[in-house]
Amino acid sequence: MQTQAAIKLRRSVRAFEPQAQISKEDIKTLIDSARLAPTARNIQPWEFIVITNKDMLETIGGIADNGRFIADASACIAVFCKDTKYYLEDGCAATENLLLAATDLGLDSCWVAGDKKPYCLRIKELLGVPDDFKLVSMVALGKSKSKEEAKPEKRPLREVIHWEKF
Ligand SMILES: Cc1cc2nc3c(=O)[nH]c(=O)nc-3n(C[C@H](O)[C@H](O)[C@H](O)COP(=O)(O)O)c2cc1C
């Protein structure tokens, strides 16, 4: 798939087939794509925790109140970054790469929020993450239960583009 096609096809999926599985090869491809994202001063402050254990996925879904669907996902990749100046931008770039690589592999996904949520400390503790790391995102991955996804409206190009000045 070409990059443009993956960008246009990707949509957030929040209802997963609980029985679907993702191969280790695919997971490695996703992390490989994430680690190639740009970072400020090439610091690469990230660590990626792959969760595939069902009990653990259910526990995370129970903690993250706006990511309950993680319980039914085939995997969740938690993106943590060391608390550097540009950790958020770096971690978000990696997360977007993950989402697009997932689309490219025919996987469905949803970005679940990180360190602005009250649950972030509990997730950190649960996953044994050192204090000096921030939770940037948790990416739920799997196969959608439905054939047709909700497609929230995107602002049109003509409205967001500004040539030369605002
Ligand atoms: C920083 C960020 C945090 C998000 N957090 C959540 C979340 O906690 N739970 C959720 O269901 N979706 C979350 N999303 C997904 C957005 O709701 C979704 O991207 C948006 O509605 C647009 O839909 P689309 O992804 O299908 O284009 C998040 C997206 C971003 C970029």
Q: Which of 27-36, 96-105, 142-151, 157-166 has the lowest mean pLDDT?
A: 142-151
Q: Are strands 108-113 and 133-142 parallel, antiparallel or unpaired?
A: antiparallel
Residue nearest to atom 30 of ligand 1 (CA): 111
Residue nearest to atom 10 of ligand 1 (CA): 112
pTM higher than 0.85, yes or no? Answer: yes
3-160 maps to which CATH number? Answer: 3.40.109.10
Residue nearest to atom 31 of ligand 1 (CA): 111
The answer to whether the beta carbons of residues 77 and 95 sit under 8 Å apart is: no
The answer to whether the beta carbons of residues 137 and 92 sit under 8 Å apart is: yes
For ligand 1, say whether the CB of 11 is within 6 Å of any of its atoms.
yes
pLDDT per position as a tens digit, 45-92? 999 999 999 999 999 999 999 999 999 999 999 999 999 999 999 999
Question: How many whole angstroms from 164 Cα to the centroid of ligand 1?
Answer: 30
The answer to whether the beta carbons of residues 51 and 60 sit under 8 Å apart is: yes
Rounded Cα distance between 166 and 21, Å, is 46
What one-character DSSP code corresponds to residue 108?
A: E
Rounded Cα distance between 101 and 36, Å, is 11
3-state DSSP assignment of residue 151: coil
Residue 109: phi and psi, rounded to 5, are -155, 165
